Amino acid sequence: MKRTMFLALLACLGFAAAAALPALAAPAPAAPSAPSIKAVRVAVGPKIDGALTDPVWSSAVAFDDFRTYEPEAGGVPSERTELRVLYDDANLYLAVRCFDREVGGRSAGSRRTPWPTTRAAARPR
């Protein structure tokens, strides 16, 4: 009886090992690469005036691989956005350029959010 149980257990382990071998031999799927942003060192920082016309901004690499959180997590945004990052000995400089095909078509309060936007709205009634 013990020998029969041992052989049955050994056979089960053998079948399990044989079933696992193809998975072990196959290469693991490549993980999606995370986006990266390159910060560029400059000798002199850009002029801070709200316009991205300072020539030093042209040395920055534009990052535009943004993804949405809502309405679809990981989706492609409807509008393009660029981020540029510079730094010098004393400061970190960020430039964000937001593109909009319908300039003037939206206002700050025109989009409803699923969370309270003021303290008064957050209080229980």
Q: What is the mean pLDDT of each run of 10 residues along the chain (125 residues)?
A: 54 54 60 84 94 94 90 88 96 94 69 59 53
- Please indicate, yes or no, whether the overall pTM of this predicted structure exceeds 0.75: no
> Residue 8, SS3?
helix
Give the separation between CA 96 and CA 53, rounded to whole angstroms.
Answer: 13
Q: What is the pLDDT of residue 54?
A: 95
> Residue 107, SS3?
coil
Give the separation between CA 83 and CA 43, rounded to whole angstroms.
Answer: 20
Question: What DSSP designation does 49 have?
Answer: S
Residue 91: which of 50, 15, 39, 22 has the closest Cα?
39
